């Protein structure tokens, strides 16, 4: 394994373009380069959520206010806390491949109704050809990396898993809790591969994961979202645990599948997920989209037409086009 790089600051980072941004989540994803390093990088910056504890610290330390306006009893200010309390959750992906960039890049979306035939003949071959490296997952399962971040582990080779914070969570504020359960088995790519042989594994994740979260973070099972993504962001079976009040990405109807529902569906029919029609959204920039388009499964003609109009339905000017 290549030596891992630890960055000390962003003074050498050159921002080349914004891949995506979310004003609601106070998050921005940027493509760029480090002056002293070869290859592309992805930088993800996200403002941390407020908690009662850090608000008390912010207000109790030296800080400054810049007045914007005052109207009667209402005052509007810009607040500048001390640097130690103004941290931004930061993720750096280096070196980043084109696949990483496409994953984070905002694009026009389409809903796909994926049948078993589409999965086996188009989706699966595309996954095997272009999937991102899973080395970082294996490093965790083999206890080569992030051992200090592991919250719980069931070390059974077939029915065990490791529970640890997702990269999107700082591991501190229960209000934004986001954990991942990584299965020890290395031959399960997604819910498409699940059947009744995996019920013990799935029940272990549901019951043991929920129990340790309640013990450690005082969040009971009925206050958690516990779900799979389909398609997943990486093809090693994993389960998401998030606090129900946290507005986590990827909980929309075409992406999230409740772990409880998955267990119940498999109990009804062992091969439920290998034969079901599963919905998912896909960006036009995705290579899989091109393969689906060639097969006549999707059509991007209308989206090209829509790009000529603004959000009010008015035709854009020639300069904008």
- What would the pLDDT profile of 75-97 be if each residue is shown by its tens digit? 888 888 887 777 888 989 898 88
Residues 134 and 245 in one domain: yes
CA distances (Å), origin 119, targets 101, 253, 276: 24, 19, 10
CATH number of 113's domain? 3.30.428.10
* More confident: 262 or 59: 262
Residue 4 has pLDDT above 80, yes or no: no
Residues 83 and 119 in one domain: no
User: Do the Cβ atoms of 228 and 262 come closer than 8 Å?
Assistant: yes
Residues 278 and 146 in one domain: yes
Q: In which domain, by residue range, is 82 found?
A: 17-90
Residues 152 and 83 in one domain: no
The model carries a pTM of 0.70
pLDDT in tens, 221-241: 999 999 999 999 899 999 999
Note whether residue 180 is domain-resident. Answer: yes
Residues 31 and 131 in one domain: no
- Give the CA-trace dihedral at 100, 165, 180, 43, to 10 degrees: -10
Residues 215 and 262 in one domain: yes
Q: Closest Cα to residue 136, out of 254, 4, 30?
A: 4
301: tokens are 């003609």
Residues 35 and 170 in one domain: no
Note whether residue 122 is domain-resident. Answer: yes
User: What residues contact residue 222 under an 8 Å CB cut-off, 6+ apart?
Assistant: none
d(CA 45, CA 114): 33
Note whether residue 99 is domain-resident. Answer: no
Question: Tokens 């645990």 correspond to what residue?
Answer: 241
Question: What mean pLDDT, rounded, does the chain reach?
Answer: 86
- Give the CA-trace dihedral at 78, 79, 82, 84, to 10 degrees: -100
Note whether residue 296 is domain-resident. Answer: no
The residue out of 37, 64, 90 marking a domain boundary is 90
- Give the number of domains in the chain: 2
Question: Tokens 């994993």 correspond to what residue?
Answer: 238
Of 100, 229, 236, 238, which one is the catalytic site residue? 238
pLDDT in tens, 92-110: 989 888 878 877 777 788 8
pLDDT in tens, 260-296: 999 999 999 999 999 999 998 888 888 888 889 988 8
Residues 264 and 123 in one domain: yes
Beta strand 74-80 with 178-183 is: unpaired
Residues 64 and 150 in one domain: no
Question: Tokens 């294996």 correspond to what residue?
Answer: 138
Residue 148 has pLDDT above 60, yes or no: yes
d(CA 262, CA 226): 11
Residues 33 and 177 in one domain: no
Note whether residue 25 is domain-resident. Answer: yes
Number of Cβ within a 10 Å radius of residue 147? 13
238 is catalytic: yes
Residue 56 has pLDDT above 90, yes or no: no
Beta strand 224-229 with 238-243 is: antiparallel
Residues 219 and 136 in one domain: yes
Note whether residue 287 is domain-resident. Answer: no
The residue out of 64, 90, 116 marking a domain boundary is 90
175: tokens are 């209000």
SS3 51: coil
Q: Write down the pLDDT at residue 288.
A: 87
Residues 133 and 270 in one domain: yes
Q: In the predicted model, what is the mean pLDDT of residues 104-129? A: 88
Q: In the predicted model, what is the mean pLDDT of residues 245-254? A: 76
């Amino acid at each position: 394994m290549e030596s891992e790089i630890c960055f000390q600051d962003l003074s050498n980072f050159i921002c080349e373009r914004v891949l995506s941004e979310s004003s609601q989540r106070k998050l921005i994803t940027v493509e760029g380069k480090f002056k002293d390093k070869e290859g592309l990088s992805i930088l993800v910056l996200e403002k941390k959520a407020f908690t009662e504890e850090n608000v008390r610290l912010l207000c109790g330390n030296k800080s400054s206010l810049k007045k914007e306006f005052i109207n009667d009893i209402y005052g509007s200010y810009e607040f500048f806390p001390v640097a130690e309390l103004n941290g931004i959750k930061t993720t750096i992906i280096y070196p980043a491949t084109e696949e990483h960039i496409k994953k984070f890049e905002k694009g026009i979306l389409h809903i796909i109704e994926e049948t078993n035939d589409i999965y086996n003949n188009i989706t699966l071959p595309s996954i095997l050809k272009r999937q991102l490296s899973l080395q970082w997952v294996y490093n965790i399962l083999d206890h080569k990396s992030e051992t200090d971040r592991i919250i719980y582990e069931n070390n059974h080779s077939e029915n065990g898993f490791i529970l640890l914070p997702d990269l999107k969570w700082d591991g501190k504020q229960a209000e934004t809790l986001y954990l991942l359960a990584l299965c020890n088995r290395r031959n399960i790519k997604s819910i498409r591969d699940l059947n009744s042989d995996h019920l013990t594994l799935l029940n272990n994740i549901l019951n043991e994961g929920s129990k340790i979260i309640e013990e450690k973070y005082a969040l009971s099972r009925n206050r958690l979202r516990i779900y799979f993504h389909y398609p997943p962001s990486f093809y090693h079976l994993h389960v998401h645990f998030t606090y129900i009040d946290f507005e986590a990405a990827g909980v929309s109807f075409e992406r999230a599948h409740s772990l409880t529902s998955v267990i119940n569906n498999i109990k009804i029919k062992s091969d439920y997920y290998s034969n079901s029609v599963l919905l998912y959204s896909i960006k036009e920039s995705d290579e899989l989209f091109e393969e689906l388009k060639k097969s006549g499964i999707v059509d991007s003609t209308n989206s090209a037409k829509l790009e000529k109009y603004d959000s009010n339905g008015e035709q854009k000017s020639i300069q904008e086009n």
